Structure 1
Amino acid sequence: MDPVSVSALVTLLSKIFDGTTGKVGEQLWDNLTSVVRRAFGRRSTSVEAAKRLGERPGDADSIRSLAEALVADSARDPQGAVQVRHWVARAERELVDAGSISSTIPGDVHRNVVQARDIHGDITF
């Protein structure tokens, strides 16, 4: 599994707090806070950052602080990093399944376009 980036975490956390994810977002947030406590301990930078974000839901600075703390804690703790990566994978799947992540192609399209989720094999036009 690849390491998780700050930008990927910011994107996921922003989506969870943007008001469009409803119950799925609430469940993912609850799950993340549990993962963080379990993976890094109650006194970690990530736990403190998660607490601040919980107090200020959707705050962009708090989202970025949590993302940075998760990446830093993951770099120090490989087992914790695995748990965070599993959470990210689950969050991405659930947000896609809930229709909370989508792609839009602006303007008129005059070429071939493919929008897909899981592709196993070639695509030919």
Structure 2
Amino acid sequence: MPDPVLVSIAAAAAGRAITGLYQLIKKQFEDDSVATAVLEAAEGAAEDSAEVQDLSVALGQAEAADPDFGERIRGLWQTEVAQQADNGGVTNQVSGTVHGNVVQARDISGGISF
């Protein structure tokens, strides 16, 4: 199962949602035609698509081969996610095993019941 953070990074790269993230990945993959094809196939794909899942796997392989690359993409991801939250964006992240209910929301009018 791919790392959930790498899936989020792959989805952001596919949609070019984070400035510089796509370029960083593209540069890392430039000498690997298979990884480059995976990146290009994921462009514009939905977060839950097979293409984004394949990209997250390719990112995991690249991270394992080059830990510095892993640190750079994760650092950029953390910085951008934190910045979006600081600027009024919504950032929700659930990781690990969840037992029970989880609500991810920004503005709620009224109550929530399960």
If the length of structure 1 is used for normalisation, what is the TM-score? Answer: 0.56
Query: How far 1:66 moved relative to its partner?
Result: 0.9
Query: How far 1:95 moved relative to its partner?
Result: 3.5
Matched, 1:100 2:90: yes
Percent of matched pairs sharing the same residue = 17
Check whether the contact 1:39–1:83 (CA below 8 A) recurs between aligned residues. no
Q: CA RMSD in A?
A: 3.2
The equivalent residue for 1:121 is: none
Residue identity in the other structure for 1:107: I
Match of 2:40 among 51, 56, 59: 51
Query: How far 1:9 moved relative to its partner?
Result: 2.5
The equivalent residue for 2:100 is: none
Query: How far 1:93 moved relative to its partner?
Result: 1.8
The equivalent residue for 1:32 is: 21
Structure 2, unaligned runs of 5 or more = 93-103
How far apart, in 1, do the equivalents of 2:37 and 2:90 lie? Answer: 27
Per-residue CA deviations over 1:13-53 (Å, capped at 9, x if unaligned) read: 54x49xxxxxxx6451x522210133343426543222111
**Structure 1: which 4+ aligned runs deviate by more than 6 Å?**
none
Matches within 5 A, 1:42-81: 42-43=31-32, 45-54=34-43, 56-58=44-46, 60-81=49-70
C-alpha spacing 1:90/1:6, structure 2 compared with 1 (3 Å): same
C-alpha spacing 1:44/1:51, structure 2 compared with 1 (3 Å): same
Q: Which has the higher contact order (CA 8 A, sep 6+)?
A: 1
Matched, 1:10 2:7: yes
Residue identity in the other structure for 1:83: R
If the length of structure 2 is used for normalisation, what is the TM-score? Answer: 0.60
